[in-house]
Structure 1
Amino acid sequence: MSSRLRGTAVPAVLLTLPLVAGLLGAAAPAGATPRAAHSLTCRGEGVDPRARIRYRTETVIHAPLRTIWKLQTDVERWPTWQAPVTSAERLDHGPLRTGSAFHWTTPVPPNPATPATRLDITSTVRQLRHGSCVRWTGPADGEGLHIDGVHVWNFTKVRGGVRVSTEETHTGPQVDANVPAATEILRQGLEAWLSDLRTAAEARAHREAH
Structure 2
Amino acid sequence: MRFDHSTTIQAPPERVWEVFSNVERWPDWTPTVDSVERLDAGRLHLGARTRLRQPKLPVAVWEVTKFEDGEYFEWVSKAPGVKTTGGHRVISTPEGTVATATIIQEGPLGWLFGRLYAGLTKRYIATETEKLKEASEQSESAG
2:36 aligns with 88
Aligned residues: 142
Going by fraction, where is helix more abundant, 1 or 2? Answer: 2
SS at match of 1:119: coil
Match of 1:193 in 2: 128
Aligned to 1:17: none
Assess if the C-alpha contact under 8 Å between 2:32 and 2:124 holds in 1: no
CA contact (8 A) 1:175 1:182 kept: no
Aligned position for 2:140? 205
Quick check: 1:122–1:140 contact (8 Å CA) kept in 2? no
Give the Cα separation in 2 of the matches to 1:198 and 1:85: 16
Q: Offset of 1:77 from its aligned partner? A: 1.1
Q: What does residue 11 of structure 2 align with?
A: 63
How big is the shift at 1:160?
4.6
5+ residue gaps, structure 1, are 1-52, 109-117
Alignment of 1:20-99 (within 5 A): 53-99=1-47
What is the CA distance between 1:174 and its match in structure 2? 8.1
Cα deviation for residue 107 of structure 1 reads 2.8
Counterpart CA distance in 2 for 1:87 and 1:177 is 22
**Could you say which structure has the larger radius of gyration?**
1
Which residue is equivalent to 2:89?
Answer: 154
Give the TM-score taking structure 2 as reference length.
Answer: 0.87
Conservation of the 8 A alpha-carbon contact between 1:61 and 1:202: yes
Instruction: Flag the 1:94–1:173 CA change in 2: closer, same or farther, 3 A.
Output: same
Cα root mean square deviation, aligned? 2.2
Kept after mapping to 2: 8 A contact 1:154/1:165: yes
What stretches of structure 1 move > 2 A for 4+ residues in a row? 171-175, 181-185
**Corresponding residue for residue 136 of structure 1:** 75
Partner in structure 2 of residue 165 of structure 1: 100
1:57 positional shift = 2.0
Distance 1:84 1:57, change over 3 A: closer
